[in-house]
Homo-oligomer: A and B are copies of this chain.
């Protein structure tokens, strides 16, 4: 086996473990998932997990890093393909957020449910990838402010937090109720409408 193939092999096993962990965490949550369950889901022995990850916490963090990186790449790729002003991009962002979640149920469930816990309780972990995600959103807001489309007096950091929160909570409901993909278009359209134009009626 060449070095390259060896590398691929390693990554494939590592990936299988991550995939098993994702599935298990999404179903039962981090604390209620046994390492042995992840192992069996991944089709490896319990001990094998410890060849790829330091411990259960490390597995959790690695899973975050890995999947968030993937999400961010997809998001950026799709966003850069959108042409138009920042409001158009913001609408696209909202839509993509939902779309990615619906296409990756387990991942969405894992992130919406475990993100908070982990951010707080897995010692030392500062969750840089999540910060990156927020920064993309914040960048859109600031772009809009620079273009004069979004009110300049708003704190872009606060706004991006709030938007993320709104999306996340609606998604939580969606994933937990395991409802049909439903009208993602409808939901994302309504959220965008509120964000951009507000709740009030106009003449």
Residues of B within 8 Å of A161, CB to CB, are: 169-170, 173
Q: Which of A29, A141, A169 gathers the greatest number of chain B CB atoms within 10 Å? A: A169
Residues of B within 8 Å of A158, CB to CB, are: 170, 187, 190-191
**CB atoms of B201 and A198 under 8 A apart:** no
Within 8 Å of chain B (Cβ to Cβ): is A155?
Answer: yes
**CB atoms of B162 and A166 under 8 A apart:** yes
A20 to nearest B CB, angstroms? 19
Within 8 Å of chain B (Cβ to Cβ): is A96?
Answer: no
Within 8 Å of chain B (Cβ to Cβ): is A99?
Answer: no
Residues of B within 8 Å of A84, CB to CB, are: none
Query: Bound complex: CA of A155 vs CA of B191, how far in Å?
Result: 10
A158 to nearest B CB, angstroms? 6
Residues of B within 8 Å of A200, CB to CB, are: 87, 149-151, 196-197
Residues A117 and B121 in contact in the complex (CB < 8 Å), given A159-B199, A197-B200, A198-B195: no
Question: From A144, which residue of chain B is reached at the shortest CB distance?
Answer: B199
Residues A194 and B187 in contact in the complex (CB < 8 Å), given A169-B165, A176-B120: no
Chain A interface size range: 35 or more
A144 to nearest B CB, angstroms? 7
A192 to nearest B CB, angstroms? 10
Residues of B within 8 Å of A149, CB to CB, are: 200-201
**CB atoms of B176 and A170 under 8 A apart:** no
Within 8 Å of chain B (Cβ to Cβ): is A6?
Answer: no
Question: From A191, which residue of chain B is reached at the shortest CB distance?
Answer: B162
Within 8 Å of chain B (Cβ to Cβ): is A128?
Answer: no
Residues of B within 8 Å of A150, CB to CB, are: 199-201
Within 8 Å of chain B (Cβ to Cβ): is A104?
Answer: no
CB-contact partner of A195 in B29, B169, B190, B194, under 8 A = B194
Query: Bound complex: CA of A169 vs CA of B119, how far in Å?
Result: 13
> Nearest 7 A-B pairs (CB), nearest first?
A165-B169, A198-B198, A162-B166, A197-B198, A165-B165, A31-B31, A166-B166
